[in-house]
Every structure is written in structure tokens, then in C-alpha cells.
Amino acid sequence: MTKLEVLELAEVKKRRRSKGAAICTAAAIFMLVLFVQFSGALTEPGAAYGAIWQDFFVNPVATENKNAIRFTVGYRKGEGLFVQTLEETPIKVVVDGTSVVSRTTLPRLEDILQDAGVELGPKDRVEVRFDTSSDKMPELVVVRVNTRIVTEEEKIPFQVKSVQDPSLAPGSTRIKQAGQEGVLLKKYEVTTENGEVVQKKKLGSEVIKEPVTQITAVGVRSKTKLASRGVSLHNKRVLKMIATAYTHTGNPTASGVMPYVGGVAVDPKVIPLGTELYVEGYGYAKAVDTGGLIKGNRIDVFLETAKECYQWGRREVKVYILD
């Protein structure tokens, strides 16, 4: 049951019968002393009680299985006198690589803990500590053992994939799909002793969120792009314009369609609505929208996210009129 190795449970019933017999014997002796005292045969009752103490409470009492039992009398404030039973208990002493079993008379561990108001859990244990280098009293240290299941999340990095986009200027890039990290959930069985982690056992793991691959579009040479669409910029009218970017507003364009990548806002006095264009760094486009700030040589290209708009910023580009 504990490191004190209390007597086997099978012997408990025999000991209880021995205790009962010993207590009855003590009561009979007390009654005999009182009778002798009141009859006048004994003039020194103190000596009689002293003899009883020496013979009954100090000297060991042999039991049926030849173990020794002692009784001590104590006093608790507010409770009065009490009798405590000391039983012969085997103690294993491990020294110099060998084990020696000694027997000594001690209170039962359960009685000590009960008297201290301590209740052991199913996994708790008690350790005995003796300090022979000082006058410190021996200690019974209760080790609270708890086991619980804990989870930890670990990030899964996303992959980056590049694809060619003929609508972009050579060397330019644009994120077509933003990457997202995944989440890996790990489960552990953690054992603590008095709050300190002594064991951490991995039980398994599972992916609770898959990572999303980031797709980056990379522009190729303009001649290749134009050839893929069967269009040449040779002898096409070109305008140098200041280009900005905008994103979703929830409103349709001036042409009546909802904004889309490839649709741009222009000043219709410079570029009529419906004109097919090629915008340097953006790709093929169509004039489908207007804007209050888009006047003269200004163009506003549509992008999916505000982040892409910030990355585009404000720049000077060449705009080819394809019509």
C-alpha cells in the first residue's frame, strides 16, 4: 500500500481480535486495581497504575501470529485521552546493494494520515524522509499524482507555387491566391507530481486545418503574351499614363457590369468606354468604368484585394490602344 509496507490485509482481522482481547484485559486490570484500592489492600494507587503502564502499555503483547502490539495513551485538547495502537510493521532497509527486513512497532500509516486529515487519491503515494544530520523530525511526504490529457497546436507552413501569367509584364508578379498556414493538433498525456510535470507521453496528432498553397503569377515577355492572343503591339497607339488601383465597392461599373480583374476605369474623353487595352504591368484590359478622380491621362486598374492595391501603389505605365 505504501513504502512503509504495512502488514498484509489478510492479517488485519486477526489483529483486530488481538486488540479487542488486549483492551478487555486492560479494563479488567484497571477494575482490579480500583477494587484493591477501595478495599484498603493497596495504599499506593500511583504505584499500581505505574505497574499497569509498564506491564501493559510499554511491554509488547504477543498475538496469535507472534507479532507484537503496543498501546500508547495520548491527549488532544478538547477531546481528552485516547488510546493509540502500535503494530509490528516490517521495514525494508536497502543498503550497500542488499535489502534487510527489520520489524519495528509503528502506528498504521492509515491512522497517521487520518489523524492529519489527509485523504489519498487513487494514484497518490507517501514517501518517508529521515534527516540524520539534524534534529528535524521524520517527515511523511504526500505526493499528489495527477494525469490529464492536454492538446497543443502547431502551425503547418504553406507551400508557394509560381505560374506564368501572360497578362503580366515581364518580371512582374502578382499573388493570385494568398497562402494560409494549416494547424496540426497534438495530444499528450501529462503526469504531474505535486504540480510538477514528470512525464509527457504523446498520444497522437491530427490535422484540423489544411494549409492553403500560395499561388504567385509571374509575367513573361510581352511578345510571347501577344503571340498567344494573336495580337501585336507594333504600330499601336501608346499613351503614358499614371496608374492607380481600386477594389470592390459593391457598386457596378459605369458599363453596368460588376468590377472584375481586367476591367479598368478611364477618362472617356481620352479613352472611350469599351476600348480594348494592354496596360504595362497589368495585362490585357478593357475600359469599363469611370471615376471622379480619373481625368486626363489617368487610369485605375481593378484588383481583388486592398492588399494588392497597396502593393500596386501609384506608377507610370504605358497603355496600348488595341482597337
Residue 131 domain flag? no
156 and 251 part of one domain: no
pLDDT of res. 52: 42
pLDDT of res. 216: 84
Instruction: Return the CATH number at 263.
Output: 2.40.40.10
Residue 66 domain flag? yes
Q: In this model, does residue 162 exceed pLDDT 90?
A: no
Q: In this model, does residue 240 exceed pLDDT 70?
A: yes
Mean pLDDT of the chain: 75
Which tens digits make up the pLDDT trace of 43-89? 444 444 444 444 444 444 444 455 666 666 666 677 677 666 666 66
Residue 133 domain flag? no
Cα gap 12→295, rounded to integer Å: 103
Which tens digits make up the pLDDT trace of 192-202? 999 999 999 99
Judge whether 56 and 71 are in contact, CB under 8 Å. yes
Please state the domain count of the chain: 3
Which tens digits make up the pLDDT trace of 165-188? 766 655 567 788 888 999 999 999
CB neighbour list of residue 227: distance below 8 Å, 6 or more residues apart: none
Residue 107 domain flag? yes
pLDDT of res. 15: 53
Q: Kindly state the percentage of the chain with pLDDT values over 90.
A: 31
Residue 240 domain flag? yes
Task: Return the C-alpha cell found at 188.
Answer: 499528450
* Of 293, 33, 294, residue with least CA distance to 319: 294
Name the band, by pLDDT with cuts 50, 70 and 90, for residue 19. low
Q: How large is the average pLDDT for residues 153-160? A: 91
Q: In this model, does residue 155 exceed pLDDT 90?
A: yes
Domain hosting 155: range is: 150-215
Name the band, by pLDDT with cuts 50, 70 and 90, for residue 226. very low
CB neighbour list of residue 304: distance below 8 Å, 6 or more residues apart: 247, 248, 261
pLDDT of res. 160: 85
Task: Tell me the Cα Rg of the chain.
Answer: 47
DSSP of 7-18: PPGGGHHHHHHH
Instruction: Return the CATH number at 172.
Output: 2.20.230.10
pLDDT of res. 7: 37
The mean-pLDDT minimum among 24-28, 47-51, 236-240 falls in 47-51
Domain end position, chosen among 215, 242, 258: 215
Which tens digits make up the pLDDT trace of 108-134? 777 778 778 888 888 998 887 777 777
Higher pLDDT, 296 or 139: 296
